[in-house]
């Protein structure tokens, strides 16, 4: 019973690691007007279906500035401080042109993408950077491999037995000895002397 409990706990760890990894790296999608969501450290892809640009902001509470890189021409830079004291916040203004734009905020915390326009936008956000995504997947993979090994050790590696090829034994055929007839001996043959008698020549 104790062995099955250990296996169950390891399976729970595997499911938890999978859920954590998938939830951490999955892309969030948003659609509509008056959007307000956290962007994390990944890339935000915004689609503006209208011909006119749409105003948007990247906002972060506090006084720590963040850096913005984007495919929008001339929109790269750092946030600026608005307000003071407890109400201070970091703001980066940008205009989303028609079509698809990509925006990434780095070196900041709790950065949000905010729009107040009535134009409907389709936005997707990757919560982690490419490096953090690879790290998350690697950590989850190591945890899962460790849990699988623990399960295998708890069950005395029985699953390995099923993977071993089953070799069909080859029957060994004993050679049949040639019998010798009893009471018989090899036939003796006499050969005469065919040499000529040289004394009579």
Domain ranges of the chain: 1-26+129-159, 27-126
pTM of the model: 0.67
The answer to whether residue 163 scores a pLDDT higher than 80 is no
Range of weakest confidence among 3-12, 51-60, 136-145, 150-159 = 150-159
Statement: residue 117 has pLDDT above 80? no
pLDDT at 7: 83
Q: Where are the beta strands (DSSP E) in 1-85?
A: 28-32, 36-38, 43-48, 54-61, 67-70, 77-78, 80-82
CATH architecture of 27-126: Sandwich (2.60)
Query: Strand order in 36-38's β-sheet?
Result: 36-38, 112-114, 54-61, 89-96, 80-82
Report, in this order, helix, strand and coil percent for the chain, each rounded to 5.
30, 25, 40
Position 193 pLDDT exceeds 80: no
């Amino acid at each position: 019973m104790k062995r099955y409990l250990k296996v169950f706990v390891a399976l729970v760890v595997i499911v938890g690691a999978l859920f954590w990894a998938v939830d951490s790296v999955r892309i969030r999608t948003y659609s509509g007007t008056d959007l307000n969501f956290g962007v994390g450290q990944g890339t935000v892809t915004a689609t503006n279906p209208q011909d006119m640009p749409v105003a948007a902001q990247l906002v972060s509470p506090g006084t720590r500035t963040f850096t913005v890189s984007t495919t929008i021409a001339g929109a790269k830079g750092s946030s600026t401080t608005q307000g003071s004291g407890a109400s201070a916040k970091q703001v980066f203004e940008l205009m989303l042109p028609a079509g698809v734009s990509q925006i990434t905020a780095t070196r900041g915390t709790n950065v949000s993408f905010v729009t107040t326009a009535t134009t409907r936008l389709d936005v997707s956000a990757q919560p982690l950077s490419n490096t953090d995504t690879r790290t998350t997947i690697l950590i989850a993979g190591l945890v899962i491999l460790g849990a699988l090994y623990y399960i295998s050790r708890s069950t005395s590696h029985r699953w390995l037995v099923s993977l071993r090829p089953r070799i069909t034994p080859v029957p060994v055929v004993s050679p049949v000895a040639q019998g010798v007839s009893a009471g018989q001996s090899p036939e003796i043959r006499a050969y005469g002397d065919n040499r000529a008698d040289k004394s009579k020549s």
